[in-house]
């Protein structure tokens, strides 16, 4: 049964005109997917294109929407528009591969990192020229932007493999493809809009037709990837809030609302639609802020008879700590491509200064893990891989990896930042992250402290 809030949104969708925009602020667990499905059912005579950035969200959406809805990730849509179907590079270009492609000397290796960053920033932006990135990299030498342009041109000419970011950016500037897309559909649905980057917003704005934007601005947790909050940036003729959560109990909602009120200045709050009744806890998720704490959790639960359900890739969890171990033990020849930049630090103290200057929480916590666990890291990684059991009732995850998931009970680890002391420029992202973690719980949420050790 739909709520009054959902019915109001669906009725509004019926009167939406060409190029008018409907914005749905859907709080955690409030049935946003159900609402979108019902919108497309109520407008069965219209053809919709559903877009999301995350492939797992799109995979689930394909199972649920009807015949009048086509479902794509932004990247799959952009790739479809490529006429030549060129070879795609799985990962971004790293410093060493760029040095080789551009035939730069070892003396110029240091600028390769800036070239990577500039090109990535450009591909994720709504800018038309690479030189416009100077506003974000004002200390970078002019040659960095020139080399980034050369790299772009080499991908454009298919002289080297193209990246996923490249063809999405190219699609955003393909006016003909966007016009054809606009002609093919009556309406466009953009899901998880709070995590859109500028190039995604540019594509969505360029489409002509009825537009429906859905997301939760308090679940924006990917600012470090260059995402912008489209829920705040894009103005809509019609705007609605979905606040009745079907997932969370009243006690969980109380904790979430504390964060919304005290740290995020919210004017609308969650309301639980879950009936107050006896419940049984069938699974417990331990949610960490960092991979370093996740490693500690794996160490604590590695002997569980039924195994452990780890929602992140084990290689991803351990890679930073292991590469830092190589660095502090002067085994830099073993560093993976992603961590070649560590070679520019003369010693551990210089690395620590860098970590403190930029408040790099992942590096800081993983450095402690590398020094504490030493070679045992490799043993623990093997044990973690062998102990993975998706059916286990003990779940180990991070706040970022938990997004979109839910469990009966949630325990938040103590590595979440104290919101009363966090820097103002990072408060919103840290508060959003805590809100996301809290609202993964259906029945109960608890907070681990130093006293619980």
Asked if 440 and 295 sit in the same domain, the reply is yes
Predicted confidence at residue 230, as pLDDT, reads 82
Whether residue 275 lies inside any domain: the answer is no
Percent of the chain with pLDDT over 70: 98
Asked if 416 and 317 sit in the same domain, the reply is yes
Predicted confidence at residue 166, as pLDDT, reads 97
Predicted confidence at residue 453, as pLDDT, reads 55
Owning domain of residue 111: 95-161
CATH of the domain at 232: 3.40.50.300
Q: Tell me the per-residue pLDDT of 405-423, one tens digit each, with 9 for 90 and over.
A: 999 999 999 999 999 999 9
Q: What would the mean pLDDT of 379-397 be, rounded to a whole number?
A: 96
**Residue finishing a domain among 103, 138, 161:** 161
Token pair recorded at residue 286? 């331990």
Q: How far apart are CA 298 and CA 312, in angstroms?
A: 12
Q: Tell me the per-residue pLDDT of 161-194, one tens digit each, with 9 for 90 and over.
A: 999 999 999 999 999 999 999 999 999 999 999 9
Q: Tell me the per-residue pLDDT of 231-260, one tens digit each, with 9 for 90 and over.
A: 888 889 999 999 999 999 999 999 999 999
Residue with tokens 């689930």: 60
Predicted confidence at residue 43, as pLDDT, reads 98
List beta partners, residue 356: none
Is pLDDT at 137 greater than 70 in this prediction? yes
Asked if 329 and 430 sit in the same domain, the reply is yes
pLDDT tier at 450, thresholds 50, 70, 90 = low
Q: What would the mean pLDDT of 146-151 be, rounded to a whole number?
A: 98
Side by side, the strands of the sheet bearing 238-242 are 69-73, 48-52, 187-190, 210-215, 21-26, 238-242
Whether residue 278 lies inside any domain: the answer is no
Q: Tell me the per-residue pLDDT of 4-19, one tens digit each, with 9 for 90 and over.
A: 999 999 999 999 999 9
**Residue finishing a domain among 246, 274, 292:** 246
Q: What would the mean pLDDT of 303-315 be, rounded to a whole number?
A: 95
Asked if 186 and 304 sit in the same domain, the reply is no
pLDDT tier at 319, thresholds 50, 70, 90 = very high
Predicted confidence at residue 372, as pLDDT, reads 98
Predicted confidence at residue 233, as pLDDT, reads 85
List beta partners, residue 272: 245
Predicted confidence at residue 226, as pLDDT, reads 67
C-alpha distances (whole Å) from 351 to each of 168, 323, 324, 370, 371 are 34, 13, 10, 14, 14
DSSP string, 338-395: GGGGGGG-SSHHHHHHHHHHHT-HHHHHHHHHHHHHTTHHHHHHHHHHHHB-TT-SEE
Q: What would the mean pLDDT of 204-221 be, rounded to a whole number?
A: 96
Asked if 135 and 28 sit in the same domain, the reply is no
Q: Identify the three-state secondary structure at position 317.
A: helix
H/E run at residue 58: helix 55-64
Closest by CA position to 341, among listed 124, 152, 147, 115: 115
**Higher per-residue confidence, 94 vs 268:** 268
Query: Under a CB-based contact definition with an 8 Å cutoff, are residues 229 and 202 in contact?
Result: no
Predicted confidence at residue 340, as pLDDT, reads 86
Across all residues in the chain, what is the average pLDDT? 94
Predicted confidence at residue 95, as pLDDT, reads 81
Q: How far apart are CA 152 and CA 401, in angstroms?
A: 32
Whether residue 271 lies inside any domain: the answer is no
Asked if 323 and 416 sit in the same domain, the reply is yes
Q: Tell me the per-residue pLDDT of 256-299, one tens digit each, with 9 for 90 and over.
A: 999 999 999 999 999 999 887 878 999 999 999 999 999 999 99
Whether residue 330 lies inside any domain: the answer is yes
Q: Which of 38-52, 158-172, 211-225, 302-316 has the lowest mean pLDDT?
A: 211-225
Is pLDDT at 222 greater than 90 in this prediction? no
Token pair recorded at residue 129? 């020229």
H/E run at residue 306: none
Query: Under a CB-based contact definition with an 8 Å cutoff, are residues 284 and 410 in contact?
Result: yes
Is pLDDT at 321 greater than 90 in this prediction? yes
pLDDT tier at 56, thresholds 50, 70, 90 = confident
Q: How far apart are CA 100 and CA 97, in angstroms?
A: 5
H/E run at residue 422: none
Asked if 157 and 21 sit in the same domain, the reply is no
Whether residue 276 lies inside any domain: the answer is no
Asked if 313 and 439 sit in the same domain, the reply is yes
Residue with tokens 């502090």: 328
Looking at the structure of the chain, the number of domains it has is 3
Query: Under a CB-based contact definition with an 8 Å cutoff, are residues 407 and 284 in contact?
Result: yes
Q: What would the mean pLDDT of 126-147 be, rounded to a whole number?
A: 95
Closest by CA position to 126, among listed 228, 207, 225, 201: 201
Whether residue 266 lies inside any domain: the answer is no
Query: Under a CB-based contact definition with an 8 Å cutoff, are residues 237 and 22 in contact?
Result: yes
Is pLDDT at 332 greater than 70 in this prediction? yes
Is pLDDT at 451 greater than 70 in this prediction? no
Determine if residue 166 is left, alpha or beta; phi over 0 gives left, psi from -120 to 50 gives alpha, anything else beta.
Answer: alpha
Closest by CA position to 336, among listed 345, 328, 324, 346: 324
Asked if 75 and 105 sit in the same domain, the reply is no
Residue with tokens 């171990």: 325
CB atoms < 10 A from the CB of 410, how many?
Answer: 27
Asked if 346 and 399 sit in the same domain, the reply is yes
Q: How far apart are CA 226 and CA 230, in angstroms?
A: 12
Query: Under a CB-based contact definition with an 8 Å cutoff, are residues 308 and 298 in contact?
Result: yes
2 burial type by CB count under 10 A (0-12 exposed, 13-18 middle, 19+ buried):
middle
Asked if 374 and 421 sit in the same domain, the reply is yes
Predicted confidence at residue 16, as pLDDT, reads 97
Whether residue 260 lies inside any domain: the answer is no
Asked if 316 and 385 sit in the same domain, the reply is yes
**Residue finishing a domain among 107, 137, 161:** 161
Whether residue 11 lies inside any domain: the answer is yes
């Amino acid at each position: 049964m739909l709520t009054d809030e959902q019915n109001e949104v669906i009725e509004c969708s019926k009167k939406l005109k060409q190029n008018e925009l409907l914005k749905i602020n859907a709080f955690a667990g409030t049935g946003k997917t159900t609402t979108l499905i019902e919108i497309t059912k109520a407008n069965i005579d219209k053809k919709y294109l559903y877009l999301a950035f995350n492939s797992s969200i799109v995979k689930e959406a394909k199972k649920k929407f009807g015949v009048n809805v086509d479902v794509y990730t932004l990247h799959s849509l952009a790739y479809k528009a490529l006429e030549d179907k060129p070879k795609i590079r799985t990962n971004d270009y790293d410093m060493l591969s760029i040095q080789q492609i551009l035939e730069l000397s070892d003396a110029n290796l240091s600028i390769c990192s800036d070239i990577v960053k500039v090109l990535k920033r450009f591909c994720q932006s709504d800018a038309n020229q690479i030189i416009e990135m100077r506003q974000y990299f004002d200390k970078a030498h002019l040659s960095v932007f020139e080399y980034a342009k050369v790299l772009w041109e080499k991908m454009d000419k298919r002289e080297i493999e193209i990246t996923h970011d490249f063809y999405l950016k190219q699609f955003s500037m393909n006016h003909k493809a966007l016009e054809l897309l606009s002609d093919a559909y009556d309406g466009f649905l953009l899901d998880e809009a709070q995590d859109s980057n500028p190039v995604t917003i540019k594509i969505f704005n360029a489409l002509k037709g009825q537009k429906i934007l859905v997301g939760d601005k308090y679940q924006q947790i990917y600012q470090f990837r260059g995402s912008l909050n489209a829920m705040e940036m894009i103005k809509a003729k019609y705007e609605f809030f979905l606040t009745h959560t079907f997932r969370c109990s009243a006690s969980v909602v109380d904790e979430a609302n504390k964060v919304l009120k005290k740290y995020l200045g919210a004017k609308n709050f969650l309301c639980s639609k879950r009936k107050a009744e006896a419940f049984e806890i069938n699974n417990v998720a331990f949610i960490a802020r960092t991979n370093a704490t996740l490693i500690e959790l794996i160490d604590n639960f590695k002997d569980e008879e039924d195994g452990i359900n780890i929602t992140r890739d084990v290689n991803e969890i351990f890679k930073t700590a292991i590469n830092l171990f190589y660095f502090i033990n002067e085994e830099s020849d073993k560093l993976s491509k992603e961590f070649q930049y560590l070679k520019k630090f003369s010693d551990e103290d210089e690395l620590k200064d860098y970590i403190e200057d930029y408040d790099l929480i992942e590096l800081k916590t993983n450095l402690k893990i590398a020094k504490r666990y030493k070679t045992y890291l490799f043993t623990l990684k093997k044990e973690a891989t062998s102990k993975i059991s998706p059916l286990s009732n003990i779940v180990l995850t991070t706040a970022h990896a938990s997004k979109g998931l839910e469990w009966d009970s949630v325990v938040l680890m103590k590595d979440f930042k104290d919101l009363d002391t966090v820097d103002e420029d990072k408060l919103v992202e840290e508060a959003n992250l805590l809100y996301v973690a809290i609202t993964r719980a259906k029945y109960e949420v608890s907070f681990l402290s130093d006293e619980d050790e």
